[in-house]
């Protein structure tokens, strides 16, 4: 079974996360990628992550992934 590398990281921050309530139909229906809600949220999260403290990080092993997301036989 092929799968992509998964990882987990945790950051300590006192910043407020972007509000999902601010997303409107305009952001989700616009065809311009630069105006997408996803780009706006990710840009905001990147700014928060860059100025805070990384607490932990690790690669998720195949065994751990299979325990959390078992495949049907």
> Contact at 8 Å (CB) between 45 and 15?
no
58 domain residue, yes or no: yes
1 domain residue, yes or no: no
CA distance linking residue 9 with residue 28, whole number of Å:
28
56 domain residue, yes or no: yes
Into how many domains does the chain fold?
1
Compute the CA torsion angle 64, 67, 70, 73 (nearest 10 deg).
Answer: 110
| Residues spanned by the domain of 29 | 6-68
30 domain residue, yes or no: yes
Place of tokens 């139909």: 25
25 domain residue, yes or no: yes
User: What integer pLDDT is reported at residue 55 of this predicted model?
Assistant: 93
User: What integer pLDDT is reported at residue 57 of this predicted model?
Assistant: 93
Burial class (CB in 10 A: 0-12, 13-18, 19+), 40: middle
User: What integer pLDDT is reported at residue 25 of this predicted model?
Assistant: 72
User: What integer pLDDT is reported at residue 69 of this predicted model?
Assistant: 77
Give this prediction's pTM: 0.58
73 domain residue, yes or no: no
Q: What is the mean pLDDT of each run of 10 residues along the chain (73 residues)?
A: 77 82 69 75 88 91 82 68
């Amino acid at each position: 079974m092929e799968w992509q590398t998964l990882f987990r990281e945790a950051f300590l921050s006192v910043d407020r996360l972007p509000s999902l309530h601010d997303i409107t139909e305009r952001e989700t229906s616009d065809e311009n990628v630069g105006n997408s809600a996803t780009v706006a949220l990710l840009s905001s999260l990147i700014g928060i992550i860059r100025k805070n403290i990384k607490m932990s990080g690790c690669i998720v092993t195949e065994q751990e992934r299979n325990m959390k997301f078992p495949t049907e036989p």
